[in-house]
Amino acid sequence: MKLKNLLLLPLLCSLSFGGGAELYLKYCSSCHGEDRLGGHAPPLFPPFFNIPEERLYRIIREGAVGMPSFKELKEEEVKQIVEFIKSPVEKEKLRWDEERIKGSVERVYTKKVEVKNLKDYTLVVERGKNLVWVMEGERLLDKFAFSSMHGGIKFSKEGVAYIPSRDGWIGRYDPTKGELKRVRACIYLRNIAFYGGLLVASCWVPSRLVVFDSQLNYVKSFELHGRINAVYELYIRDGFIFTFKDKPLVGFLNYKDLKLTYENLGVALEDFIIDPLEEYLIGSTRSGLEIYSLNDLRLVKELKALDIPHLASAYFWYSKGDFYFATPLLNKPVLSVWKAYSWEHVKDIPLDGNGFLARSSYGTPYVWVDMSTDSMLLLDKRSLEVKKFIPAPGKRVTHAEFTGDGRIAYVSVYEKEGALMLYDGVSLKKLGEFPANLPAGKYNFVNKSRYFEGAQLGYQVFMEKCWGCHHTTENAFGPSLRWSIQNREKALVIAQILNPENTYRLLGYSRNAMPRIELKEGELKALMKFMEALKDGWMD
């Protein structure tokens, strides 16, 4: 009798929601998961899914960024789907504890590959075949299986890659050993961060932070009472930072003692990022941007925007004495450009379609913005003028990424019979093409490390302020920057930049040949980050 009742449950569930279960399975489950716990797209059950019905109807009918429209559905069918996804999910389905985490570990062995230059080391996601490609510059070294990749790949300084998936799996890929270790941190994952040998996963289902060591051995979990936006590395606080979508809190996790603390922002954020110099927390709300000082979390400025900025895709750069950042808006075909650190709105640039990612590198003169069309918008970093670039007429292109020096640009032709296209990052000359089935994200060792974000800004400061007399690795009129930072104390280098008339004797010179360079605090900070990356050989 009990077995019979159990077999009737799916039918009863379907009837109780007026056919919503069947409609959900037909139209929604391929992205949101058959159990509504999330897949390529977020979970669809309360409290993680909490959208007013009027807006929900509109999203189903008209679509949204990353989601197709379902205009063919009748009004009653939309209503049935809405009723179904607003119903609760059994609590047992949401349980994922330490025992299950430790019991999920598995290893897969792949081809051993030698990456000669980590700056050219890039992983490419081929979503249509659930594969990750290993690229070095223009060379394809290997492919291995990994499904539902989401949230951004992280790298150790040794080149080990940590790969997250929507459904909670995290992979540790070591190309030199040809090993992929996997562990399931949770049921639905937002993103990961890696700092000081610790990896932290932010999870929606169940709501928590999960900490692993660099070998993906379980360390600790922290239950969260809210829906986390993301977790990021925060070097100035020696650990990690995160915020919530539904609580006005910012959390800090210390790397050394794993102490978790909270501070109140006063408002919940839709999304947030940390600037490359780690001075500000930049949060988005439905009305625009809120800028907080990381020193004391004081609100510095509120900026109005046409819609919610997609901060996870924002790109920062330096030009003509100012720092800038640009980000697409989530629900409008607009690229919004701002001055960073002075926090002034510069301009809004219309796009041909909803933009999702703004990407660049210090070695290319453009910010590359996809528009859900066959063209990319290229924003000139110096003039702020724009032009269109069409890699594959009539086919959707998305997600530009670059080698660490910006020499090569990778662009996805996001079609089932698509391709990974390679271009010169400056001249836009085509360098190569690899057939691919729905090629999606691309993640370069340099460009996807927060450690190098400030250094990339510093390179741009160097080119405008120092390049006339100094080169990066070779002597010119003055010594190379690499030699200077490798052979002199950092404090002395800073003193020489700011006050050369009074420091030349300390450097052993009989007279001063260096002019005083007027640098703002941010310019000096960025320049020193670049010199530190030069010192360690990470940048040229």
CATH class (in words) of the domain with range 95-268? mainly beta
Q: Which CATH class is domain 463-535?
A: mainly alpha
Selection from 10-19, 166-175, 298-307, 491-500 with the highest mean pLDDT: 166-175
In the chain, the percentage of residues whose pLDDT exceeds 90 is 70
Checking if the pLDDT of 63 tops 90, the result is no
CB 299 within 8 A of CB 266: yes
Mean pLDDT of 129-143: 97
Where residue 459 falls among pLDDT bands split at 50, 70, 90?
very high
Q: Stretch 246-264: mean pLDDT, rounded?
A: 96
Same fold? 95-268, 463-535: no
Lowest mean pLDDT among 244-258, 405-419, 479-493: 479-493
Token code pair at residue 223:
């239950």
Whole-model pTM over 0.85 = yes
Q: What is the pLDDT of residue 55?
A: 79
- Among 282, 382, 298, 269, which Cα is nearest to 340's? 282
Residue 39 has pLDDT above 90, yes or no: no
d(CA 484, CA 493): 7
Domains in the chain: boundaries: 2-90, 95-268, 463-535
Kindly state the average pLDDT of the residues 444-452: 94
Residue 89 pLDDT greater than 80, yes or no: no
pLDDT tens track for 272-313: 999 999 999 999 988 889 999 999 999 999 988 888 888 888
Give the whole-angstrom CA distance, residue 467 versus residue 457.
14
Question: What span, in angstroms and rounded, lies between the C-alpha atoms of 44 and 88?
Answer: 9
* Mean pLDDT, range 53-61, rounded to an integer: 81
Mean pLDDT of 448-468: 94
The answer to which of 175-184, 408-417, 462-471, 496-505 has the lowest mean pLDDT is 496-505
pLDDT tens-digit readout, 474-502: 999 889 999 999 999 999 999 989 988 88
Dist. CA 462–CA 459, nearest whole Å: 5
C-alpha to C-alpha distance for 218 and 212, rounded to whole angstroms = 5
Q: What confidence score (pLDDT) does residue 48 get?
A: 58
Q: What is the mean pLDDT of residues 426-438?
A: 97
Residues 6+ apart with CB under 8 A from 261: 251, 252, 254
pLDDT at 381 over 90: yes
pLDDT score of 15: 38
Averaged over 224-232, what is the pLDDT?
A: 95
Instruction: Collect contacts of 516-524 with beta carbons under 8 A, ≥24 apart.
Output: 517/465, 517/466, 519/461, 519/465, 520/321, 522/277, 522/279, 522/323, 522/341, 523/318, 523/321, 523/461, 523/465, 524/494, 524/497, 524/498
Pair of tokens at residue 8: 């009737």
Q: What is the third-level CATH fold of 2-90?
A: Cytochrome Bc1 Complex; Chain D, domain 2 (1.10.760)
